[in-house]
């Protein structure tokens, strides 16, 4: 259910400036997106899991707020990130 260590490290190295750059907004959004994708598949399979659905909504809200912040502060980075992650089609 949760992200594996290898998945996390690969996302951090792909979107961050270094291996330890976990605080960058792009890295946090990418990690949230991966967790959202996993929870979406879980909720499709287990339709009565209401706590899972609530957790999914919480993650989507966090990602939305972070995307709004990134749009305000780094517009070009925002555009490239949403294109690379495939969100906001």
CB 68 within 8 Å of CB 16: no
Residue 18 vs residue 48, higher pLDDT: 48
Angle of CA points 65, 54, 13, to nearest 5°: 50
Return the CATH number of 5-85, one of 1.10.287.10, 1.20.810.10, 1.20.210.10, 1.10.8.50: 1.10.287.10
Write down the pLDDT at residue 19. 87
Secondary structure tally for the chain: helices H, strands E: 4, 0
- Mean of the pLDDT values across residues 21-28? 94
User: Which residue ranges make up each domain of the chain?
Assistant: 5-85
For the chain, the average pLDDT equals 94
Residue located via tokens 């979406």: 40
Write down the pLDDT at residue 89. 53
């Amino acid at each position: 259910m949760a992200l594996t260590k290898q998945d996390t490290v690969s996302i951090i190295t792909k979107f961050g400036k270094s291996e330890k750059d976990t605080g960058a907004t792009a890295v946090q959004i990418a990690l949230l997106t991966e967790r959202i994708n996993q929870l979406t598949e879980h909720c499709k399979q287990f339709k009565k899991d209401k706590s899972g659905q609530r957790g999914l909504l919480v993650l989507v809200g966090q990602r939305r707020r972070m995307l709004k912040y990134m749009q305000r502060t780094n517009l070009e980075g925002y555009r490239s990130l949403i294109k690379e992650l495939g969100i906001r089609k």
